[in-house]
Amino acid sequence: MNATPLADLSADDLAALLEEQRAAYADLGAKGLTLDLTRGKPSTQQLDLADDLLRLPTKTVDADGVDVRNYGGLQGLRELREMFAELLWVEPEQVVAGGNSSLTMMRDTLVYLMLFGGVDSERPWGQEEKVRFVCPVPGYDRHFTLLESLGIEMVTVPMHDDGPDVDAVAALVADDPSVKGIWIVPTYANPSGSIVSQDVAARLAAMPTAAPDFKIFWDNAYALHHLTEEEAKSADILTLASAAGHPHRPVMFASTSKITYAGAGVAFLAASTANVAWYLGHLGNGSIGPDKVNHLRHAEFFGSPQGVRDHMAKHRAIIAPKFAEVDRVLIERLGGRGVATWNTPTGGYFVNLDVVPGTASRVVALAKEAGIALTPAGSSFPYKQDPDDTNIRLAPTMPPLAEVTEAMEGVATCVLLAALEQATA
């Protein structure tokens, strides 16, 4: 139900509403809640969907007759690579199937670039005077943590509904050879829900860069995580880059972490065949091969690319009502008040909530005191510094639906209370 904006209320009405929300917050604190909306984890109900994995594989040899229990096969099981190549719009020879974490593959790729340079590098990145990365914001906190841990400087550009501000990116990369890459979550971005358009992807693939070895880290973590029957299709960044004469620019990452078991899935890297050979060449110095038993288990479990799609429809049935409930509560409690804006994502794992500038940290602190854990304010920005203190990432997938409702009612109270405190200060 829409209500009067705070900006249109008299001083007396603001004071009365403030007291009303203080009372509501006191009631909230008295409930002794322990609710958590901090991280985008699959729920137990979602994990249960993959329990047939525990009875697989039913054999010990792959499609080529190789015993998966033994050493070798650094690039990963062929039949699984073929399956996910189709889903990710790439060729099987461009895919590496690895361990359970795409984040580990991202870290390894960055470390290899820092120590050795890429196939198109003049020298290792670590020998450069400075290395900088473009980071669309709001973005994924773990991307930023990785860069910070390696001493890579971060510069921000806004994330729009169709992807990063491509004009701002072009201006940053055109004349500065220290700008070596950009992070992009192209489909249902974390946390904004943005979908990179074909036009934006084409510009990123083709734009002139001062660094000859500029990289697009294309983290396609949510490519298959649809919340509606109208499924977004990821831009084909590898083909676009190759056609533009920059075949080694993009490196794609994906995984089954939120498809099967979050801690026991399979991660994928996809790139030009030269980049794949480069990656495997360095990986092979410290690995004799991935867990091919788990690869075979997943290949049997899905059966085909369509099997993956069918499995994701079951996920959608579980989590879509939770996202709908977040939207319902925010509309009902905050609609028309002029204190918050939020997205209604069509996929992914997050809701992006922007509150009154200068109050996000206060909202998170109020929620914590009331027993509702939220991702710290600023987490979606490099160095955890949101210049406007306005952004909060909500992750509604893990709690049961009833807890999502209870948590969001509490969050709405905290948002309104923090806004009223500021308005009456």
Residue 213: count of CB within 10 angstroms of its CB: 19
**Residues 384-401, mean pLDDT to the nearest whole number:** 97
Task: Return the number of other C-beta atoms located less than 10 Å from residue 26's C-beta.
Answer: 10
Confidence of residue 3 (pLDDT cuts 50, 70, 90): confident
Task: With CA atoms as reference, report the closest residue to 146 among 97, 105, 193.
Answer: 105
- CATH of segment(s) 6-46+309-424: 3.90.1150.10
Looking at residue 2, what is its pLDDT?
60
Model pTM above 0.85? yes
Instruction: Determine what percent of the chain is predicted with pLDDT higher than 70.
Output: 100
| Residue 233, number of CB atoms within 10 A of its CB | 10
Is the Cα dihedral 98, 99, 102, 108 positive or negative?
negative
| Inter-CA distances, 424 with 11, 14, 399, Å | 8, 7, 35
Burial (0-12, 13-18, 19+ Cβ within 10 Å), 74? middle
Name the residue ranges covered by the structural domains of the chain. Answer: 6-46+309-424, 62-304
Q: Provide the 3-class DSSP secondary structure of residue 180.
A: strand
Average pLDDT over residues 245-259: 98
pLDDT confidence of residue 1: 52
Q: Is the pLDDT of residue 185 over 60?
A: yes
Radius of gyration of the chain from Cα atoms?
23
Element (H, E) at 84: helix 78-88
Give me the chain's average pLDDT, please: 97
pLDDT digits (tens, 9 = 90+) for 301-320: 999 999 999 999 999 999 99
Q: Are 156 and 381 contacting, i.e. CB atoms less than 8 angstroms apart?
A: yes
Query: Which CA distances in Å does 349 have to 187, 209, 277, 292, 352?
Result: 11, 32, 33, 28, 10
Per-residue pLDDT tens digits for 321-376: 999 999 999 999 999 999 999 999 999 999 999 999 999 999 999 999 999 999 99
Extended beta strands in 60-131, E state: 95-97
Mean pLDDT of 113-130: 97
CATH fit for domain 62-304, picks 3.40.50.300, 3.30.70.1380, 3.20.190.10, 3.40.640.10: 3.40.640.10
CA–CA dist 115, 69 (Å, integer): 32
